[in-house]
Amino acid sequence: MDDSSQLLQAASDFVHYPGPHSDDSSRDFLNRFPLPVIINALQTQLDVPGLENTLVACLERLFNTKLGASLIPQYMPFVQVGLQADSQAVRSLACKTVTSLLENLDNDHKVAASACLIKDFNIYPLLLDCLINGNEQVAAVATDAIKKLAGFPEGMEIIFPSDKGDDTDLEIIASQCSSLGRVRVLALVVKLFSVSRSAASTIYSLNLLQLLEAEIRNADDTLVTLSVLELIYELAEIEHGTEFLSKTSIFQLLSSMISHNSMESILRSRAMMISGRLLSKDIIYSFTDEPCVKAVISSIDGRLQSLEASDRDECETALESLGHMGSSIQGATLLLSGSSPAARHVINAAFERQGPTGHGKQLAALHALGNISGETRSENNIILNAEEEENLRRLIYETASRSSKLTPSGLFLSVLQQDSEIRLAGYRMLSGLVARPWCLMEICSKQEIINKVTDPSTETTKIGMEGRYNCCKAIHKSLTVSSRVSANPAFAGIAAKFQEAVGMGPYLVKRHVEAQPAVITADRF
């Protein structure tokens, strides 16, 4: 086109059209400006202000329609050239075009045909180049395209060919990259790992998870190590991730990082959080040896013993990590095992008032104690073995005896008398602990606790009201099933009060007020 102004205006209108385009509107646009015309203008008229960005956005919307996606196979040379363009915007468009192609494969014939096109036009190596050498946006859309490709068996064969060692071997590419490129390759590995269990199995069998372990071992660059830890954190959140991670040496590496005094505090904190996330899942204990888990717990225990008062953030992270572990019954059991259980740090901090500077520490500890005591576990998994239950009771009574409150009920009341955040954590803690008869007796022995928990006006926020109500329900349930309470008429009034509180629901209910006649002096003036 000699005059690009018409194309620029029409493309701008197409881009800014509200809502998705139909095939009819796309066809009308292409009848006026066929794809070869648009592509030619994009390649030859870059000096026209705003033309490139407008055409890129226009083609992106066009290829997102069913009609536009059906045209992509005819324009694979354009995609191939676009992936190698100097313009980052054009590269981004080319990557998104590959994704659009793969999103519209609704039968096996189209999948096979598209796989052939990707092979014939060398698309996958070019996507890898965009991943490694493109800007942040290009790297992200290239990753999306490769992840979409991995969703098909034919795509997995392209990404992980049988002849290991070619120019698309991720292990070789990672070894030759800059630190940024290496992190991007590792991020791709994690994305591919999340596609399916089959993809995860392939990645594990190719030892690609060892690339992440190697980066943690090196720990030369704090930013790179932190990025890799974030990727492992992402792996821990994948449904099948725990099974494969447990087969690696990740727990040994994490416990080593946590115990390393010269390591950056932020790296130790992330290692603790990842450990907590992994060990919060019951399934991990089916694949991991107990000594590995105990080593992680021991490293956090040792770290908490050596932390100074100024290390508040790391201390809070450590307590939060123990809380995550305690949400699983196996984790809670290990935290309360032995003569000096690691859970003692949680219990000590939960009832320790240190003013504003210690607020976060106490808050983290109370939530952790709620997890360990079973607030997040199913009804059948709240109570632990006899030894661990005795350690839990002993630690709380010992903490109370060292405080000015003297009894656990005094500690509980002290928590409920603090600010709303602490109270909410206190409700969670009591909801778990009250399943134990000794805790139920402590609560029933303190009228102030009963009044505080059953009073609907105690909380003014939705989350606070729901936390108080859940605590009411847990206490009422324990009162109902406890033979010790049901046989004692002295507890009948307490049970009735909690039953009434549960019946009122979680939210503040204003009592019905009868209309009252008002006698006032008549307005005479």
C-alpha 222/C-alpha 523 separation (Å) is 79
- Among the listed ranges 26-35, 167-176, 295-304, 407-416, which one has the minimum average pLDDT value? 167-176
C-alpha 100/C-alpha 68 separation (Å) is 9
Does residue 395 carry a pLDDT above 90? yes
Residue 52: Cβ within 10 Å count: 19
- Among the listed ranges 55-64, 223-232, 280-289, which one has the minimum average pLDDT value? 280-289
Predicted confidence at residue 525, as pLDDT, reads 46
Q: Residue 133 half-sphere exposure, CB side, CA atoms within 13 Å?
A: 14
The C-alpha angle with vertex 203 and arms to 133 and 286, in degrees rounded to 5, equals 135
Share of the chain above pLDDT 70, in %: 92
247 against 228, higher pLDDT: 228
Report the candidate in 437, 417, 435, 439 with the shortest Cα–Cα distance to residue 426.
417
Predicted confidence at residue 420, as pLDDT, reads 87
With b meaning 16 or more CB within 10 Å and e meaning fewer, what string describes 119-156?
eeeebbebbbbbbbbbeeebbbbbbbbbbbbbbbebbb
Owner of token pair 């709303």: 420
- Among the listed ranges 13-27, 205-219, 475-489, which one has the minimum average pLDDT value? 475-489
Predicted confidence at residue 524, as pLDDT, reads 52
The sign of the torsion formed by the CA atoms of 51, 53, 54, 55 equals positive
299 against 522, higher pLDDT: 299
| 128 — pLDDT class (breaks 50, 70, 90) | very high
- Among the listed ranges 148-152, 169-173, 396-400, which one has the minimum average pLDDT value? 169-173
Helix (H, G, I), strand (E, B) or coil at 3: coil
Provide the 8-state DSSP code for 487.
T
Predicted confidence at residue 387, as pLDDT, reads 92
| 496 — pLDDT class (breaks 50, 70, 90) | confident
379 against 310, higher pLDDT: 379
Predicted confidence at residue 325, as pLDDT, reads 92
Report the candidate in 357, 369, 374, 370 with the shortest Cα–Cα distance to residue 313.
357
Q: For residue 28, which amino acid is it?
A: D
Does residue 164 carry a pLDDT above 90? no
Cβ neighbours of residue 243 closer than 8 Å, sequence gap 6 or more:
283, 287
pLDDT in tens, 241-294: 877 887 888 888 889 889 888 888 888 899 999 899 888 888 888 888 888 889
Predicted confidence at residue 184, as pLDDT, reads 92
Q: What is the CATH number of domain 1-168?
A: 1.25.10.10
| 319 — pLDDT class (breaks 50, 70, 90) | very high
| 335 — pLDDT class (breaks 50, 70, 90) | very high
Q: 524 to each of 188, 517, 518, 519, 521, how far by Cα in Å?
A: 84, 20, 17, 15, 9
Q: For residue 435, which amino acid is it?
A: A
The sign of the torsion formed by the CA atoms of 440, 441, 447, 448 equals negative
Predicted confidence at residue 366, as pLDDT, reads 93
Average pLDDT over the chain, rounded to an integer: 85
Residue 486: Cβ within 10 Å count: 13
The C-alpha angle with vertex 25 and arms to 19 and 30, in degrees rounded to 5, equals 130
Residue 393: Cβ within 10 Å count: 16
Does residue 522 carry a pLDDT above 50? yes
Spans of all domains in the chain:
1-168
Spell out the alpha helix ranges (H) of 327-419: 329-335, 343-350, 359-372, 386-402, 408-416
Q: For residue 98, which amino acid is it?
A: V
- Residue 269 exposed, middle or buried by CB count within 10 Å (0-12, 13-18, 19+): buried
Indicate the length of the chain as a whole number.
525
**Structure tokens belonging to residue 31:** 């009848």
Does residue 442 carry a pLDDT above 90? no
Cβ neighbours of residue 224 closer than 8 Å, sequence gap 6 or more:
179, 182, 183, 215
Does residue 162 carry a pLDDT above 80? no
Residue 207: Cβ within 10 Å count: 11
| 97 — pLDDT class (breaks 50, 70, 90) | very high
C-alpha gyration radius of the chain: 31
